[in-house]
A = this chain, B = another copy of it.
Amino acid sequence: MSKSQSVSMTDIARHLNISQATVSYVLSGRASGSVSEVTRKRVMEAAQEMGYRRNRAAQALAGHGSHIIEFCVTGFYPSYYGQILEAFDVELRSTPYELHIVNPVFSNEKEWGFSKGDWPIDGVIADTPLPEDMLASLKQRGTPVVSVGLFTHTETDHVFVDMTPALLEGIRQLAAHSRRVAFVSMWEPHPVTVGYRQDSRYPAYSQVMRETGLKEEMIIAHESEGLSQRAVAHQTVRDYIAQNGSPDAFFCFNDERAIGTLAALRDMGIRVPQDARLLGCDGIEDSAYHSPAISTIQYPFAEVARLSWQFLLNRIKNPDVPLQSATLTAQLVQRASSAP
């Protein structure tokens, strides 16, 4: 492995015959008031010429704060991830902080001696529930955590997205004109979880089925190695219909599955919305561009990013503020796919 040829402050100091501390003062701009203009100029020029770049690892080690925000999320694709990441990225653009994306599922594996991502961090944003031990260790060391989305930890700062009202509204509309409303889900119905909020999609679906006296029809399109969510949904729904005939309404766990379902229906010659109606969830951009446009529950990407960054920054600057939490209410977006 090649030795890194970086230019250090010491190099500049030696070159200029001054002390390294002075170089630090100038380059960090911290006590630059107490450095003569002449020296300042010389340092800046030397830094430029010699190609100096700071070493953030050293800076973080010596000083306080790394300006790293660890963003816990389970992938970069599909678009839900892309859109939430983009929203946070935009939010941090005008700050000195930067996103360090970590997948808690894999980073926690102790395969490499220790997990990836053990950088000194100033805070974490969790778009997915954190493992118990990770949460505990963050708490112990006093690292600010904001948890975000549908599965927020209730004991950390959080921005919760409440889909229940929109979910009930949307599924009720589906049910109002249908005999069979299927739920294209990701999982079998869940036992109730603790420590963070329960996913509200199945409960909402189940409630409406009870209200209307319709029978629950679960179509489970799991995560699958090497297959996209929409590909799995496509196939699963096609098989399901072949075996069971078609429901006349589909509520899908997310827009990915809604898109896959739409493809399946097209394959089977079932027209949307005339023969079967469709409701997705998340509000990724794609849902609006399909034909027919897919009705969905709109996740407020930008607002989530804005608010949670505000919470996090607030706590970084002032660790002792009381628990910050907010609830954003997702909206039902009616489009052609669910028109009665």
Contact = CB atoms under 8 A, between A and B. Distances in A.
Interface stretch (A14-22, A85-93, A201-209): A85-93
A316 B82 CA distance: 29
Contacts of A317: 1
A55 B118 contact: yes
Contacts of A96: 112, 116
Interface string A242-284: 0000000000000000011011001000000000000000000
B228 A319 contact: no
B98 A5 contact: no
A12 to B, nearest CB: 14
Interface string A1-19: 1111110000000000000
Interface string A93-115: 10010111111001100001110
Interface size class of A (residues with CB under 8 A): 35 or more
Contacts of A55: 61, 118, 120
Interface stretch (A134-142, A159-167, A186-194): A134-142
A29 B113 contact: yes
A39 interface: no
Contacts of A107: 98
Instruction: Determine how many copies of this chain the complex contains.
Output: 2
B289 A291 contact: no
Interface string A108-150: 0000111011111000000000000000110011110000000
Contacts of A319: 1-2
A303 to B, nearest CB: 15
Interface stretch (A72-80, A173-181, A214-222, A325-333): A72-80
A266 to B, nearest CB: 6
B57 A66 contact: yes
Contacts of A4: 120, 141-143
A40 B90 CA distance: 46
Contacts of A240: none
A173 to B, nearest CB: 24
A60 B1 CA distance: 14
Interface string A48-74: 000101111110110011110000000
Interface in A32-52: 51
Given A58-B61, A82-B77, A119-B56, A1 B316 contact: yes
Given A64-B1, A77-B86, A117-B98, A140 B51 contact: yes
A61 B61 contact: yes
10 contacts: A1-B65, A1-B317, A51-B140, A54-B118, A56-B119, A76-B82, A78-B82, A79-B82, A230-B285, A291-B291
Interface of A: 1-6, 27-29, 51, 53-58, 60-61, 64-67, 75-79, 81-83, 85-86, 89, 93, 96, 98-103, 106-107, 112-114, 116-120, 136-137, 140-143, 228, 230, 259-260, 262-263, 266, 285-286, 289-291, 316-317, 319
